[in-house]
Structure 1
């Protein structure tokens, strides 16, 4: 039942260039190129227009994710749907390939090296490790990322406003202080919060550091434990003696969120996460990104780049809307009752 949304401001956009970058000019059909040249000869600037799938030149896109879990799967589904909304239909004028290394970095390296040697026009990286891997080996074509928490710290862009290279995209950066406040809104007695995060993901490290700092501001002692793979999540959670648990936007941990749910239920401790899918899988609540919507938002950037925008001056976009999701039955299994005022603020309840 939809009862309300938590909204945050949008990142402003700079002006986009309308001249197709060299790596995309070869995708223009002969008729389209002739039209562009004729327009230029007449001294006119072509106006952007919404084209049908039949009118757009055929493009090939290589996508790589990091691991299978519902949030990233929803992001890919949103990407494909968003591309169709922008006139790129799979099987008509779009060839799109998805590769998934299942969190194996050696396999990821093989995938991006294969992509680098391919004739794909553009690449989409879902999550930080694939984005970093692609950015290291692909410099001659655009790389568009999604679900990257801190693209500046990850070394992907010079800044959020002016990326400066062939890489841009969307960020799932969340306000950590607001997430910790949600924990206190649910249970004001919480004095310590435990976070398990992947030491191999720079986005998780950045979030953990932000959570520790935000905890100091709120009077919460944030304790952390690191893991290198999903099989270590349960033991890491058990090592933390805390009043509540909090899961970051961390692919390794989210793929094993049931392990944290089990610990939270056994210890009768609240578990709040950063994605709504984890709430459906047993967490009590989340202040979360809508990943399907982020996929559509990413598709909008892809479409603009294919239309001639320069990745170097196309700003990184933040998620336009965040929402609270709660699972009252899961909370009860953890010995927690979610207050009615929090329930009223939730976009989704179960």
Structure 2
């Protein structure tokens, strides 16, 4: 017969074994630290500023999560914060997310991504709308960040955009560019634009700004010297498209954008990416992380699909002729331009 003490010991061992077995059999996704996450995966979304491209990326991310079975209020909990173009606020948001021990941070745009990485080297960070993650100090390479970052880049070829300028405004020689001197994303694009302009015998006339309030003065300083205005995927400048449209179109100066949202806001044309699709693609990377992969094991990616978008109302406002060979292969959008 088994003694009372021995019997109690056996029961205790069976209970412990059952508990351990139950944990091992759990289908709940694990995080990159190998720990069992909370019932709801806590996701902090930090967006640098509001404009069509970044808003679309956020919506695409949420939809991408949903397509894989992760829905806010059910098995994930989303905390969305917007820094309204203020880097200090972006840093505060990132620090708060880190201190509240989010399971994952989704950082939209370069400044928000940099703030998130400065705030935590442990919590997985999925980025999007970052032109060059490597040059921006967010990753060692596109193949592997070698840290807690993965996600998508919105890099587009400036040479392709300048070729579009040649097609739509063949007489243009001077390209105006307003860029944010405090954003590495813009500095990188500025360097590429200068190199491409030399190859294509174009003259770049640039004006630097540090915030939205300086846009008006910057465009006024170059307006009389340029034939076309080109707009980067620069968050500060992109949020001011309506102002730039008003200033430029009254002088008959076309605006070429770097992404579709800028055309929807009034720019004449672009060969760009769909930021909703970019955000959706970012969500697929996030799901890999939620389900147990380390961010460094998930390569960073770009969106290969490019679309020529032309604003029909801008054509009318500028009273210009665009070859049918270009119009026929473009996506036509409308934006009422006063």
- Global fold match (TM > 0.5): yes
SS at match of 1:197: strand
Tell me which of 84, 91, 95 is aligned to 2:77.
Answer: 95
Is 2:91–2:119's contact at 8 Å kept on the other side of the alignment? no
Distance of aligned partners of 1:32 and 1:204 in 2 relative to their CA distance in 1, 3 Å threshold: farther
Match of 2:118 in 1: 136
| Structure-2 residue corresponding to 1:310 | 294
Question: Does the CA-based 8 Å contact 1:269-1:336 persist in structure 2?
Answer: no
**1-structure distance, mates of 2:219, 2:20:** 59
SS across alignment from 2:306: strand
Matches within 5 A, 1:72-221: 72-221=54-203
Q: Which moved more, 1:84-93 or 1:229-238?
A: 229-238
CA distance in 1, matches of 2:246, 2:196: 26
Q: Residues of 2 paired with 1:289 and 1:204: CA distance?
A: 17
For the 8 Å contact 1:328–1:337, the answer to whether it is kept is no
What is residue 281 of structure 1 aligned with on the other side?
265
Pairing 1:226–2:208 present: yes
- Does residue 348 (structure 1) correspond to residue 326 (structure 2)? The answer is no
Q: May I ask how many residue pairs the two structures share in their alignment?
A: 304
Describe the shift of the 1:187–1:347 C-alpha distance in structure 2 as closer, same or farther (beyond 3 A): same
Rounded Cα–Cα distance in structure 2 between residues aligned with 1:195 and 1:32? 60
SS at match of 2:101: coil
The superposition leaves residues 307-342 of structure 1 with CA deviations (integer Å, 9 ceiling, x where unpaired) of: 122211321100131111111221332343222111
RMSD, matched Cα = 1.9
The answer to whether the 8 Å contact 2:49/2:235 transfers is: yes
Unaligned 5+ segments in structure 2 are 1-18, 28-37
Q: How does 1:55-74 map to 2 (within 5 A)?
A: 58-74=40-56
CA distance in 2, matches of 1:344, 1:305: 42
Cα distance in 2 for residues equivalent to 1:31 and 1:167: 33
In structure 2, the residue corresponding to 1:329 is in which secondary structure? Answer: helix
Residue 35 (str. 1) matches residue 22 (str. 2): no
Equivalence for 1:293 = 277
SS in 2 for 1:345: coil
Deviation, 1:258, is 1.2
Per the TM alignment, residue 36 of structure 1 is displaced from its structure 2 partner at its CA by 6.7
Distance across 1 between alignment mates of 2:22 and 2:176: 57
CA distance in 1, matches of 2:313, 2:70: 42
From the CA coordinates, give the structure whose radius of gyration is larger. Answer: 2
Of the structure 1 ranges 307-316 and 198-207, higher mean CA displacement relative to structure 2 is found in 307-316
Query: Which residue is equivalent to 1:257?
Result: 241
Q: Equivalents in 2 of 1:190, 1:74: separation in Å? A: 32
> Shift in Å at residue 57 of structure 1?
5.5
Match of residue 46 from structure 1: none
